[in-house]
Amino acid sequence: KNQVEQSPQSLIILEGKNCTLQCNYTVSPFSNLRWYKQDTGRGPVSLTIMTFSENTKSNGRYTATLDADTKQSSLHITASQLSDSASYICVVTDHTGGFKTIFGAGTRLFVKA
C-alpha cells in the first residue's frame, strides 16, 4: 500500500533556530514529491517540488532534499520565524497517471519567541 509518513508529528523550536522535518514514502513508481505549508485555517500552499532526478530544491529559507533510493525527503528551515508556525505536508505522486497522490499527515511546527 502506498504510504507517506512524516516525523515528528509536532515540533516546538525557538525563533531563529533551524529545524528539519522528515518524510518517508513507499509510493512507487515515483513521479514527484512536494512540500506544502498549511497555516491554521487556510489551504495548503506549495513550497517546493522535486522530481526523481533532483535531490535538493530551495525556496528562500526552506530547503528540501530527496533521496529517491531510500525513499526519504527532508525539509530544512533555516533561521525560523514566528510566521513559520504551521503544518508542513509532504505529498508524493506516483508515475502511473491518474490521481495517485498521497498526502502525509503533516508535521505541526510551533515557533516560539
Partner 1 sequence: NAGVTQTPKFRVLKTGQSMTLLCAQDMNHEYMYWYRQDPGMGLRLIHYSVGEGTTAKGEVPDGYNVSRLKKQNFLLGLESAAPSQTSVYFCASSYRGSEAFFGQGTRLTVV
26 forms part of the interface with partner 1 (CB under 8 A): no
22 forms part of the interface with partner 1 (CB under 8 A): no
Q: Which of 62, 74, 76, 103 binds partner 1 (CB under 8 A)?
A: 103
Query: Shortest Cβ distance from residue 90 to partner 1 (Å)?
Result: 9
C-alpha–C-alpha distance, residues 94 and 59, integer Å: 23
Query: Do residues 47 and 37 touch, judged by C-beta distance below 8 A?
Result: yes
| Alpha carbon 96 to chain centroid, angstroms | 22
42 forms part of the interface with partner 1 (CB under 8 A): yes
Q: Which of 11, 13, 68, 102 binds partner 1 (CB under 8 A)?
A: 102
Q: Which of 11, 13, 49, 68 binds partner 1 (CB under 8 A)?
A: 49
- How is the chain split among helix, strand and coil, in percent rounded to 5? 5, 60, 40
Q: Dihedral sign for Cα 96, 45, 39, 7, please.
A: positive
Residue ranges in contact with partner 1 by CB under 8 A: 4, 34, 41-46, 49, 89, 93, 99, 101-106
